[in-house]
């Protein structure tokens, strides 16, 4: 009697399959591109199973049979769901907003120590505006950043540092003040904002942890585990807590050096 694999075995994550391990770079790029195109995990697993089946029949490697994994994934883009908001974009947007809030919030700490209002002149506002636009555009730059992390990442860090340096120099200039805010309200309020965004990021990273795994419909070989990894919630704590921890560290340093 012909039985489907799904009736015999539990879904197996693709990363445990020997084929994926043997062609890890090609499969990783293929999965990444489809993830960025919002294709659900089980659908990615089905497409990768088709690749594995074809290569098993012909003896070809994935690159020989299908070419560049990113370009091949793009040809499968019709399987993506345009109404689905990808967790990748939510996490990237929350992270960029957290960094922006941290930069502004920690800059208010020295003024808080001296019981002074937080003031901004035109030069500072222009510099913070440039950095804000750059950080909030990070989700749009996510794909090229993943492809060329050192080149693009280094350029972004340089621009952010130049913007922060320009704001610091503007603070020493004689430009007229055009905005004045209570420093404690800014520092505490933006820290609470960072905590709220960290919670959004954590919820997104742990949302339905077993429901969108990249699983293969093929049978697992004897000895291969089909159990999903349950470490997702613990692993999500590190990226979610990183910016709040950095906020506290920079705020403490600013308080001590003020």
- The pTM assigned to this predicted structure is 0.62
**pLDDT, tens digit, 9 for 90 and up, residues 98-111:** 888 988 899 899 99
Nearest to 45 by CA among 2, 16, 66: 16
pLDDT > 90? residue 35:
no
pLDDT at 183: 93
Q: How confident is the model at residue 92 (pLDDT cuts 50, 70, 90)?
A: confident
Q: Which are the contacts of 153, defined by CB distance < 8 A and separation ≥ 6? A: 145
d(CA 136, CA 258): 29
**pLDDT, tens digit, 9 for 90 and up, residues 143-174:** 666 666 666 666 667 777 777 777 777 777 77
pLDDT at 86: 57
Residues 117/183, Cβ–Cβ less than 8 Å: yes
**pLDDT, tens digit, 9 for 90 and up, residues 37-64:** 767 777 888 888 889 899 999 999 999 9
pLDDT at 88: 66
**Mean pLDDT on 171-181:** 81
pLDDT > 70? residue 236:
no
What letters, b where the CB count within 10 A reaches 16 and e where it falls short, cover 194-221? bbebbebbbebbbeebeebbbbbbbebe
């Amino acid at each position: 009697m012909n039985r489907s694999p799904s009736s015999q075995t539990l879904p197996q994550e693709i990363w445990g399959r020997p084929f994926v391990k043997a062609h890890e770079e090609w499969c990783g790029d293929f999965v990444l591109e489809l993830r960025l195109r919002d294709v659900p995990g089980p659908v990615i697993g089905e497409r990768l199973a088709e690749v594995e089946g074809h290569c098993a029949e012909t003896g070809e490697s994935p690159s020989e049979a299908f070419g560049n994994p990113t370009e091949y994934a793009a040809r499968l883009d019709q399987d993506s769901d345009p109404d689905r908001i990808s967790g990748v974009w939510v996490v990237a947007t929350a992270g960029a907003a957290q960094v922006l809030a941290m930069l502004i919030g920690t800059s208010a700490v020295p003024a808080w120590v001296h019981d002074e209002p937080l003031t901004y002149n035109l030069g500072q506002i222009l510099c913070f505006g440039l950095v804000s636009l750059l950080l909030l555009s990070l989700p749009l730059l996510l794909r090229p950043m993943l492809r060329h992390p050192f080149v693009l990442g280094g350029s972004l860090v340089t621009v952010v540092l130049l913007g922060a340096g320009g704001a610091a120099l503007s603070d020493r200039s004689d430009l007229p003040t055009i905005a004045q805010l209570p420093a404690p309200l800014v520092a505490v309020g933006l820290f609470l904002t960072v905590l709220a965004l960290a919670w959004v990021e954590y919820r997104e990273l742990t949302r339905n942890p077993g429901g969108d795994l990249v699983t293969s419909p093929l049978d697992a070989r004897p000895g291969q585990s089909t159990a999903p990894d349950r470490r997702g919630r613990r692993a999500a704590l590190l990226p979610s807590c990183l910016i709040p921890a950095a906020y506290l560290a920079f705020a403490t340093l600013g308080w001590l050096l003020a």
